[in-house]
Amino acid sequence: MTPPVFYVQPDELSGKQVGSIVELTGDEGRHAATVKRLRVGQAIAIADGLGLVALGRVHSVPDKTTITLAVEQLAHLSPPTPKLTVVQALIKGERMERAIETLTEVGVDEIICWAAASSVVRLDAPGASKALDKWTRRAKESSKQARRVLPAQVSGIISTQELVLQISAGSTVLILDENAPFSLADVEMGGEDLMIVVGPEGGLTDEERHELTEVGGRRVHMGPAVLRASTAGTVAAGVVLSLGGRWSPDGGLAWNT
């Protein structure tokens, strides 16, 4: 069974070696000691979020907010390839959090939040910053639940104009559109990075379709059923991760010990 994963700041693993003791404190230590109720001898992984991970067993549980790990192995996890980014249009309420959560669990590397023309949600600068912080925390929590050494990254909130610039910078871009002439299942997955664009509940506008395809985006549908904006990205990500080899036994991840 894959050991539970906890995150620390990068400098907390810097210079560590086999035999070192790593201390887990604060919120992560409390979660390990009090919520997960880890005990001496249990296997765990402590990651810096950038690819370095210390594997070992609980050495001590001195209090309800602290555990220590005796390092048995240090490894560096290279970023998975091809990279998968999902551009998620803003959707209302808990559905946005649910989308962030499931996109993270399925294995998406980066989630870009997009203020599409038909998005009901409209956020001013303070509201956008607060929402982005909340979604980033949800992605981190979901990454831990999924036992990901490299947590999903959340960025944005971007405009359509900013999205067009990101698309023109590269990657194969698939735009989910129920009226598209091609099916997602017909797309040939190569080794290049992928971006999936998910519109809001109200759908894409004609102007957005035009702007996104003008810079190389390819419109694809997902069969006769119309999925909600909160689930479409996760289903599409599962398809491309499977077809692209990311769901192979090693998950497309390279461990360098």
The encoded tokens of residue 110 equal 């980066």
CB neighbourhood size of 199 (10 A): 27
Distance separating alpha carbons of residues 66 and 143, to the nearest angstrom? 21
Beta-strand relationship, 52-63 and 43-47: antiparallel
Domain ranges of the chain: 5-77, 84-243
Distance separating alpha carbons of residues 239 and 120, to the nearest angstrom? 28
SS3 83: coil
Question: Are 70 and 56 contacting, i.e. CB atoms less than 8 angstroms apart?
Answer: yes
H-type alpha helices, 146-215: 160-168, 206-214
Higher pLDDT, 90 or 77: 90
Where does 84-243 sit in CATH, by number? Answer: 3.40.1280.10
Distance separating alpha carbons of residues 227 and 233, to the nearest angstrom? 9
pLDDT band of 158, cuts 50, 70, 90: very high
Question: Are 13 and 24 contacting, i.e. CB atoms less than 8 angstroms apart?
Answer: no
**What's residue 61's pLDDT?**
97
Question: Are 171 and 193 contacting, i.e. CB atoms less than 8 angstroms apart?
Answer: yes
CATH 1.10.1240.10 holds for 5-77: no
pLDDT band of 171, cuts 50, 70, 90: confident
Q: What is the pLDDT of residues 89-136, one digit of tens each?
A: 999 989 999 999 999 999 999 999 999 999 998 888 888 999 999 999
Model pTM score? 0.92
Q: What is the pLDDT of residues 186-223, one digit of tens each?
A: 888 777 899 999 999 999 999 999 999 999 999 999 99
